[in-house]
Chain A
Amino acid sequence: MSTRLAKGGRLIDRTAAMDFHFNGKVMRGFAGDTLAAALLANDQMLMGRSFKYHRPRGVVGSGPEEPNALVNLGRGARLEPNQRATTTELFDGLEATSQNHWPSLEFDVGVVNNYAARFMPAGFYYKTFIHPRPFWKHVFEPVIRRAAGLGKAPTEGDADRYEQAYAFCDVLVVGGGVAGLLAAKAAADAGQRVILLEQTATLGGRTPVDEADIDGTPVDTWIAAIESDLRARDNVTIRTRTCGFGVYDHGYVLADERVADHTPGDGRPKHRLWRIRTAKIVTATGAIERPLSFAGNDIPGVMLASAVRDYVVNHAVSPGDRTVIATNNDSAYQTALALKAAGLEVPAILDARDTATGALPEAARAAGIRVLTGRGIAKVKGGKRVTGVAVCTQAGEGAVLEEITCEAVAMSGGWSPVVHLFSHCGGKVKWDDNLSAFIPDASRPPVNHDGSPMVSVVGAAAGCLSLANILAGLRDVSGKTAIRLPDVCQTPDGSVSIPPVWVMPQGAPIQLRSKMWLDYQNDVKVSDVQLASREGYQSVEHTKRYTTLGMATDQGKLSNINGLAVLADSLNEPIPQVGTTTFRPPYTPVTIGALAGESRGEIFQPLRRTPMHEWHEKSGAYFEPVGLWHRPYCFPRAGETHEQAVHREVLNTREKLGLLDASTLGKIIVKGPDAGRFLDMLYTGVMSTLPIGKCRYGLMCNEQGFLSDDGVVARLDEETFLCHTTSGGADRIHAWMEDWLQCEWWDWKVYTANVTEQYAQIAVVGPNARKLLETLGGMDVSKETLPFMQSADGTLGGFPARVYRISFSGELSYEIAVPASQGAAFWEACHKAGASLGAMPYGTEALHVMRAEKGFIMIGDETDGTVIPQDLNLDWAISKKKADYLGKRGQARTFLASPDRWKLVGFDTLDGSAIPDGAYIVADGTNGNGQRNVQGRVTSTYHSPTLKRGIAMGLLKHGPQRMGEVVEFNTIQGETVKARVRDTVFFDKDGEKQNV
């Protein structure tokens, strides 16, 4: 059994015991434990079930590479699935459950898949469930989804909060091991602004576990000294529990700080996402030990040699009384020595190499450990727990030489430098034959904005696997304290050599290969990759997708190189020829909460409010989004449906008085000696001739000729125009104006200013509109003084106001702009003064209905980016005289000038119903896809409360020539609605209501 040792544990505090729950069972650990360490200390080796075959799985690693020990952490609103027990810091009251099993971890029904494993090879799902097609969606997928999957998605909203922050530096060091610390010191000594990130809670990396001293100083003392030196400096920031997970263009790095994962509910943000911009990145991300591929290498108790060492040294946890070591390199001997030093047994070291003569093997022999060279594991014995190993010769086919009883196996298949961050932004890796690993290619680094190398790599991440190598490379020859920062990458000194051992034993038959796990989390075995190769997969990228190798949440940190090597061997090609998969961010999974940061709830996105927004809210308005604005759609009264409210608002406005908050309309001042000339280019009509005080409706097109925006332009004085835009269009049109002024006509004397938000604008609409303004008093708004399409400045009811007599409803109508800071007060004043005149607020839907009744177009309804003004019969708003305007050439293109264009007409349904939104007008026959041919579509359709029937506008081929014809609109139900073609003005054709 695995257990806590009586002594030792450099990271744990035995005086701070912590109780936690695993699958409902109370267990005890210490401060400084990871969840994995604490589980092992409680003899909980079995931590989960595998994804596909539901095989029992125990912890393999001790860091972010862990594929097996994934748990559901917390519960309710703090439930997080797929949390790695190896990186989860223990806290008092922690609750975790294992994943992917039913009904229990110990007894899992899904394990039948395991016994059927030989019938479920790579590509099994693809091959089996492809026919019959409809079965996939309705039968196979739901069943497979229930059986597969890892953690449970939380059902409650996240109780925690997250935030993001920006940081800037000259040198960003990722990784707080010895190499990272030295690099940070080098940069700091050079006066650079340095940030050092370390993903765990403590600095030092592997060295405190693997080495006794640095230059004669105990490692922990050495690290404490350099840490306090760095922390004392103004130009250095150290952030622990912070994983630099992605490197992007121009020195942009994202890092995830786990601020309060280990102190849940303490009020601090759970995670903080750092957006760091740095001139230079130094990655000191270390190396990850690789498993060996032998049969049964996934049985709980088989662990990486480095992990076993970590648990013994850091947490005083024994994986079992007897641990067999299997290795192809010297580093695993450290594990044997560490176990021995802790008083545990190492029955044998099985070294796949023919000889083992280094200092560490000699030390092991000196410690009395049995070292067997040229040997490997034929098979691990055991089910939910290792019970022993069968030994064979590495060169053979797995004939068992002897069996050794043990509770754990510590394996080392060599080391893979963590080159991820070097590669994220285009850095290339190269194969190092001596290390049997990919290392950064210093001649092909990712480049910065100035073309200089952006990422340097130091330490084990560069393939420097010995401390001596790291120290020598980061130091000046002249003295111990002088350190130099490498320009690009540190270079391995050749002192560590790792021979390729990809399958153990080398000639293993299929019975063994089909039990050799490459990717633990996705259940991919050596035999699966070999099958893929036999089936013709030659590219590593394709093989990866076919077998799912390396596609689990650990992204193949343990499995990629082993899988690649097996593939290369099957293809009989060298590994560099087969290539490696692309490393993409994030290095480790990042919770969506951190990526979202503050963008959640009320501040998920900016909500734009008019000055009257609060009044609308209090009045029970039902809002609709218009761009980022929220505008009242209608103001339903108690017991009213939205439709009833809209109808009431329309009728009241037509019969008495309606008030609309039109503040969102864009308002742009255009001023200068060339303002008229500029607007003549911008609008299809002529604006330069507009008399002062007058208003004119204008259309703006893009250079392709398509209608882009519309609105009323008022001339305020000789040089100044005020251009109204659509609500959603103000910023876009302002940018459009500035674009032309800055980049094309930069010698024209014109300035613009977007004053949209300076004003609250209220439309006073209906037969009583004038009476309301007269009640407010202060301006002559009579028909004679302020006729249609004219504006005037003055005061109304004591409010400074600019009044435009314009109408989007066909009623007598004024739009009144007052300073935004007085908008709410003016709105209330209008309601107060209008109370006896039948004033009611109306929303955007009533506005839409009324404009449709009058046949006015709406940008976004009648237009969709493919419609020119001529399609909408707006030729009257297009100047024939002007030599040029934006879009003129575009509109002259043959297909836009074609008489066959769909053109705007009105429709009366024969049965009085409203045509469904988005309906097409069907034509005879079908197209090449068997779909019904179409000849037009509806663009606006409403039930008109004024006319008490459905009204619609739409685009119809040859529309204006087909008045009186009956056409058919399709519906989703498959039926059609018949409608008669007519003109677009449904109400008050002569404008009698407006021109009073």
Chain B
Amino acid sequence: MSDPVSALGGASYAGFATIREIGPLGMITLRAKGVKSLDKAIKAAVGTKVPAVRRIEIAGDKACGWMSPDEYLLILPYGGVADALAAIAAALKAEHHLAVDVSDARAVFRVEGAKASDVLRKLMPVDFDRLEPGELRRTRAAQVPAAFWQADGGFTLVSFRSVAGYVMGLLQHSAQPGSEL
């Protein structure tokens, strides 16, 4: 086993906002609906409650986001995925669900700075002024799917790994000095 490498090896860019590729980050797709032990499984895996529609529950370096009526995104340190999967399996036992490691299928970016939202406003058909606290928004960044939420004075943005270079290019283009909205 070698050290896991994120898609862009931690690339960064300083424009009017700062862009950083972070990760690798542990991520689990959990699909389940109407199963009685869902709250236990999520609690056991990442220590949060079940998020409401379009919300993300954050607890330290772990989180659980609502992705669809039967899908959650569990976020945790990279090394903890196997244990979390085991905890989910134990909690849900025979109940119908799917839990799968998607840590390596994703690229994660941080967009930070006073005008960080200006970077994303150029790429996403999203009304940033009407975002709700703790909202996880799935949308597109220009031509590719993306999800983001606000935390720690910036935005965390998730895309697919294969298009990490494209997303970095978009963020860089949009954050160029002098192009604040």
Contact = CB atoms under 8 A, between A and B. Distances in A.
Are chains A and B touching in the complex at the 8 Å CB cutoff? Answer: yes
A615 B175 CA distance: 29
Interface in A576-612: 598-599, 602-603, 605-611
Given A161-B173, A821-B4, A758 B178 contact: no
A757 B105 contact: yes
Which of B6, B70, B130, B160 has the most chain A CB atoms closer than 10 A to its own CB? Answer: B160
Contacts of B7: 611
A609 B167 CA distance: 12
> B interface, how many residues as a size bin?
35 or more
Contacts of B166: 603, 606-607
B24 to A, nearest CB: 5
A669 B162 CA distance: 19
B147 interface: no
Given A799-B1, A821-B5, A757 B104 contact: yes
Interface stretch (A20-28, A137-145, A265-273): A265-273
A613 B173 CA distance: 23
Contacts of A277: 125, 127
A168 B179 CA distance: 19
B1 A168 contact: no
Contacts of B176: 161, 267, 269
Contacts of A551: none
A696 interface: no
B165 interface: yes
A821 B24 contact: yes
A734 to B, nearest CB: 12
B93 to A, nearest CB: 13
A607 B100 CA distance: 26
B5 A603 contact: no
Contact of B105 (A269, A752, A820): A820
Interface in B143-181: 143-144, 160-166, 169-170, 173-174, 176-179, 181
B90 interface: no
A756 to B, nearest CB: 7
B169 A602 contact: yes
A758 B98 contact: no
B50 interface: no
A798 interface: yes
Contacts of B177: 267
Contacts of A628: 163
Nearest to B2: A825
Contact of B174 (A163, A822, A824): A163
A749 interface: yes
Interface in A786-813: 795, 798-800
A167 interface: yes
A902 interface: no
B165 A607 contact: yes
A543 B2 CA distance: 73
Contacts of A610: 162
Contacts of A819: 4, 103-104
Nearest to A602: B169
A816 to B, nearest CB: 14
B19 to A, nearest CB: 14
B143 A606 contact: yes
A168 B130 contact: yes
Contacts of A821: 4-6, 24, 103-104
B83 to A, nearest CB: 15
Contacts of A749: 96
Interface in A716-768: 749, 751-753, 755-759
A16 interface: no
Interface string B118-154: 0001111111011000000000001110000000000
Interface in A167-224: 167-168, 193
B126 A166 contact: yes
Contact of B122 (A165, A669, A759, A822): A165
Interface string A894-928: 00000000000000000000000000000000000
A609 B100 contact: no
Given A598-B142, A609-B162, A819-B104, 9 more contacts: A166-B126, A266-B178, A608-B160, A669-B100, A753-B29, A753-B102, A756-B105, A757-B160, A757-B162
Interface of B: 1-2, 4-7, 24, 29, 31-32, 70, 96-98, 100-106, 121-127, 129-130, 142-144, 160-166, 169-170, 173-174, 176-179, 181
